[in-house]
Amino acid sequence: MSAVTVLKLGGSVLTGGDAVFRAVGEVHRQLLGDRRVVAVVSAEWGDTDGLERQARRLSAAAETPAYTALLATGEARSAACLTLALEACGVSVVLLEAHRLALRTDGPRSEAEPRAVGPALRGALEERSVVVVPGFVGVHEDGFTALLGRGGTDLTAVFLAHHLRGRCVLLKDVDGWFTADPAREPGARRYETLHWDEAIRRQAPIVQSRAVRLARRLGQPFEVAAVGSGGGTRVGPWPSRIAGPRSDRSDRSDLFGPSRPSGASSPSGPSMDTRLLHPPSVPGEPSGASSTPIYQTATFALSGEPGGPNTGDRWDYTRSGNPTRDVLEAQLAALEGGGASGKAGEAVRALAYASGMAALTAVLRQVPTGGEVVVGDDLYGGTQRLLRRLSDHLGVCVAPVDTTDPDAVAAAVSNATDLVLVESPSNPRLRVSPIPVLAEIAHRHGARLAVDNSLLSSYLMHPLALGADFAVQSATKLLGGHGDLTAGLVAVEDPALAERLAFDRNAEGTALAPFESWLLLRGLQTLAVRLDRQLESTRRLVAFLRAHPRVQRVWYPRHGPGGVVVSFETGSLERSRAVVRETRVFATTVSFGAVRSSISLPAEMSHACVSEERRARQGLAADLVRVSVGIEDADELMEDLGRALAGPPQDRAEGHSKPWLGRAGKGGGAANSAVPRAPAFPTTTWAST
């Protein structure tokens, strides 16, 4: 049998004098290309409501065969009318009434579920080009009529399409599925493809979610279109995509263009996840190697004549440029540009540095001698140390302010300000600053805004899309994720800024080395899957801490993705020290964001270089414990922390030896068995115990 299109004609399509002939035209159009058509029809618009009112006047019963038989007459009428019209136009057609179609149903008689189809349909398709059937109507096992409920004709169409392994087209009075009602919102955009899950979530849907659910369950994609459609929307297992001016997707780069958030867990969406897994090739690299080659070389032979122009050589010296690092920067730029603002990812430029501090230094270089920086008052200790150096040696005025308070920022920023620098969320109290507001304040005064996004990473937040001029990160943390590299990055959209940063970086030699670039590329491949696990575990841990009697205060953002770091106070420095010491699954380290969970006491570790009285002024308590959640089993993490919080401090003979007992996942696997039994190296690590 040739291919089949199941064409559902909705009530609005069939209503009105000429409507049935427009419907005939549409059926005819579908016949081209040697397809057969099954036309599934609804009652004319308003018919079913009228029939229901009539039924109500006569009886309150809703589930009786008589009731359903009455309501089924709407579809019977449309089906017969359409068949007559098609016959009159010379189309090879046959009408299969409900009892002959024999769409077997079960469940409530007015909200029935389709289960099977009788053989007459296939038989009819062997003999005629078009078979017209009523939608919405089925037959229960007792032989009496059943109705498929609201949107029932869509259900019939989806079910029959699946049965016939055919194409399913739902004709409506709008040409596709839009982001909003196009009749009311002129800015509404049409979806070219729409994922089932998102279609189900829609409010005021074009297709009832029950039908979409059935389609998803059966694996039956469908199209939504208007009569004479030029576009329409395909609904199925594909990622949601808004129709753009370019619908031709013949070149590969389109796959990796900036993606629109599709409602997936990350604002970056499924296209970004795929992009991170598939870095672009080095131009001219012939082997097709799946893993980017590590160009561990200082120099590149030049092709030009000595003394002649060296145009066309892309690389000459790794300090200035290196292929492995170029691939990394392309990935980082795409990641940074995948924001909701829709700005083209190509405009973002990312530069990789030897460390997060090198990246911050590069940004602060833009502040002239004697200039002014307004900074957040909850910053990483290393950043504060760098700022102190600027103020001590270069006469830069550094003014800390509570950046979570827009009024305070507005009061602090003046025309003398060159740069506003903020960490959001901040380290270690995870306080969130309103970046778009800060951007507006800064720009109003001719200043720039730099946001240190290390705690969330550019997978979860896009500062440039929110108005920032510099997006800075310590890639050592979440992006690298495996605790095996040190790196930093700065992303900008302004080409002039990009030029200046590149110039400085080349002049000072702070670019990230090839090997670390390669490691970071590798880390990016599992960024999405790591973060999924880490975020879920962190949320559970935050709830656990908030409810714990020995925890006085918990610091974690209440809005937005939150991140994988949470801080808490126990009220006692001794107890906090004990907690840090007693945990076994959490390693006691600085840094955060890696696959291995860690715990620290910032006042004595990452923020130890900040003076005690300054820490007090900033509200950084001595007993604040900061935890970074890795990919271990969440239950085990909570158990470990709970035990450390509950138990009395134990005497330990030697230093910080912490046997690693972590297991990840419910499957009983030992994902972090990669870590030696004790970090004490090299004594008992790989010897038999």
Q: Does 682 bind other proteins (CB under 8 A)?
A: yes
The question of whether 191 is a catalytic residue gets the answer no
Count Cβ atoms below 10 Å from residue 306 Cβ, excluding itself. Answer: 6
Closest CA to 279 of 520, 529, 532, 491: 520
Q: Cβ distance 588 to 680 under 8 Å?
A: no
Helix (H/G/I), strand (E/B), else coil: 304: coil
- Report how far residue 497's alpha carbon sits from residue 650's, in angstroms, rounded to the nearest whole number: 54
Binding-site member from 149, 270, 339, 463 for other proteins (CB under 8 A): 270
- Report how far residue 69's alpha carbon sits from residue 64's, in angstroms, rounded to the nearest whole number: 9
Catalytic entry in 150, 213, 319, 550: 319
Q: Does 668 bind other proteins (CB under 8 A)?
A: yes
x-or-dash pattern for other proteins, window 19-58, by CB under 8 A? ---------x--x-xx------------------------
Only one of the segments 5-13, 181-189, 606-614, 661-669 lies at the binding site for other proteins (rule: CB under 8 A); that segment is 661-669
15: its two tokens = 């209503």
Catalytic entry in 67, 295, 380, 459: 380
Cis preceding linkage at 270, omega within 30: no
Q: Does 237 bind other proteins (CB under 8 A)?
A: yes
Tokens 């160009």 map to which residue? 295
Q: Does 673 bind other proteins (CB under 8 A)?
A: yes
CB of 143 to other proteins, least distance (A): 31
- Report how far residue 37's alpha carbon sits from residue 164's, in angstroms, rounded to the nearest whole number: 11
Closest CA to 314 of 334, 295, 287: 295
Closest CA to 336 of 531, 481, 536, 479: 479
Q: Does 680 bind other proteins (CB under 8 A)?
A: yes
Q: Does 91 bind other proteins (CB under 8 A)?
A: yes
Q: Does 242 bind other proteins (CB under 8 A)?
A: no
Binding-site member from 201, 278, 314, 389 for other proteins (CB under 8 A): 278
CB of 82 to other proteins, least distance (A): 16
Q: Does 195 bind other proteins (CB under 8 A)?
A: yes
Residue with smaller CB distance to other proteins, 291 or 414: 291
Count Cβ atoms below 10 Å from residue 227 Cβ, excluding itself. Answer: 17
Only one of the segments 13-21, 170-178, 385-393, 477-485 lies at the binding site for other proteins (rule: CB under 8 A); that segment is 477-485
Q: Taking CB under 8 A as the criterion, which residues in 112-131 touch other proteins? A: 129
Binding-site member from 483, 514, 561, 563 for other proteins (CB under 8 A): 483
Residue with smaller CB distance to other proteins, 448 or 596: 596
Helix (H/G/I), strand (E/B), else coil: 67: helix
Q: Cβ distance 435 to 383 under 8 Å?
A: no
Catalytic entry in 47, 418, 452, 469: 452
Q: Taking CB under 8 A as the criterion, which residues in 561-620 touch other proteins? A: 587, 589, 595-596
Q: Taking CB under 8 A as the criterion, which residues in 400-419 touch other proteins? A: none
Count Cβ atoms below 10 Å from residue 492 Cβ, excluding itself. Answer: 27
CB of 657 to other proteins, least distance (A): 9
Q: Does 273 bind other proteins (CB under 8 A)?
A: yes
b/e 568-585 (16+ beta carbons within 10 angstroms → b): bbbeebebbbbbbbbbeb
Residue 282 phi, psi dihedral angles, 5° rounding: -70, 125
Q: Which residues 6+ apart lie within 8 Å of 679 measured at CB?
A: 587, 656, 657, 658, 660
The question of whether 484 is a catalytic residue gets the answer no
Binding-site member from 22, 189, 388, 482 for other proteins (CB under 8 A): 482
Binding-site member from 205, 231, 239, 280 for other proteins (CB under 8 A): 239
The question of whether 319 is a catalytic residue gets the answer yes
Residue 588 phi, psi dihedral angles, 5° rounding: -85, 95
Closest CA to 176 of 187, 167, 189, 186: 189
Helix (H/G/I), strand (E/B), else coil: 191: strand
Helix (H/G/I), strand (E/B), else coil: 538: helix
Binding-site member from 522, 548, 577, 584 for other proteins (CB under 8 A): 522
Q: Cβ distance 351 to 502 under 8 Å?
A: yes
Residue with smaller CB distance to other proteins, 69 or 294: 294
Q: Which residues bind other proteins (CB under 8 A)?
A: 2-3, 28, 31, 33-34, 90-92, 129, 165, 195, 218-219, 237-239, 252, 255, 264, 270-271, 273-274, 277-278, 290-291, 482-484, 522, 525-526, 528-530, 533, 587, 589, 595-596, 631, 655-656, 663-665, 667-677, 679-688
Where in the sequence numbering do the catalytic residues fall? 319, 380, 452, 477
